[in-house]
Chains A and B, each alone.
Chain A
Amino acid sequence: MLQEIIRKLVQEPGSLMQLQSGQLQLAGMSALEERALMDVMNSRDKDHGQTLLREMYWC
Chain B
Amino acid sequence: MGNVMSEFQTQIDRYFRVKLLHEAAQAAINMKCSESLLFGKMTLLHYRMFGGEDSGIYKAAAAVEMMILALDIIDDIQDEDHADMPWCQMPKEIALNLALGFLSLSQEVLMDSDMPDEHARSIAALFNNQLLAAINGQTLDLLNEMETEEDYLIMVRQKSAALLVCACMTGVILATGSADQRVAEYAEEIGIAAQIKNDYRDLLNWEGKNDFIRRKRTLPLLFLLAEIGENDRWIAEYFAGGLEPEDVLHRFAEFGEAVERTGTQLYTSVRMRSHYYRFLDVINRMELDSKWRDLIIEAAM
A interface residues (Cβ-Cβ under 8 A, vs B): 2-3, 6-7, 9-10, 30, 32-33, 35-37, 39-41, 43-44, 52-53, 56-59
Residue of B nearest to A43 (CB): B269
Q: How large is the interface on B (under 10, 10 to 19, 20 to 34, 35 or more residues)?
A: 20 to 34
**Cβ-closest chain B residue relative to A10:** B263
Interface residues of B in 193-207 (CB under 8 A from A): 197, 200-201, 204
Within 8 Å by CB of B270, from A2, A7, A10, A53, lies: A2
Between-chain CB contacts (< 8 Å), 14 pairs: A2-B271, A6-B263, A6-B270, A10-B262, A32-B274, A33-B274, A36-B273, A36-B276, A52-B204, A56-B197, A56-B269, A58-B272, A58-B273, A59-B276
CB of B223 within 8 A of CB of A39, answer no
Mostly helix, strand, loop or mixed at chain B's interface?
helix
Q: Which residues of A contact B272 (CB under 8 A)?
A: 56, 58
The interface residues of chain B lying within 8 Å CB-to-CB of A10 are 261-263, 266
- Decide: B227 and A36 in contact? CB cutoff 8 A: no
Once the chains are docked, how many angstroms separate the CA of A35 from the CA of B265?
17
The one of A9, A30, A52, A59 in contact with B273, judged by C-beta atoms closer than 8 angstroms, is: A59
Closest to A44 in B: B266
Which of these, B204, B260, B266, B277, contacts A6 with CB under 8 Å? B266
Cα distance A53–B265 in the bound complex, in angstroms = 10
| Pairwise interchain contact B277-A57, C-beta atoms closer than 8 A | no
Asked if A57 and B263 sit within 8 Å, CB to CB, the answer is no
Please determine whether A3 and B270 come into contact, CB atoms closer than 8 angstroms.
no
Contact B276 A58 (CB under 8 A): yes
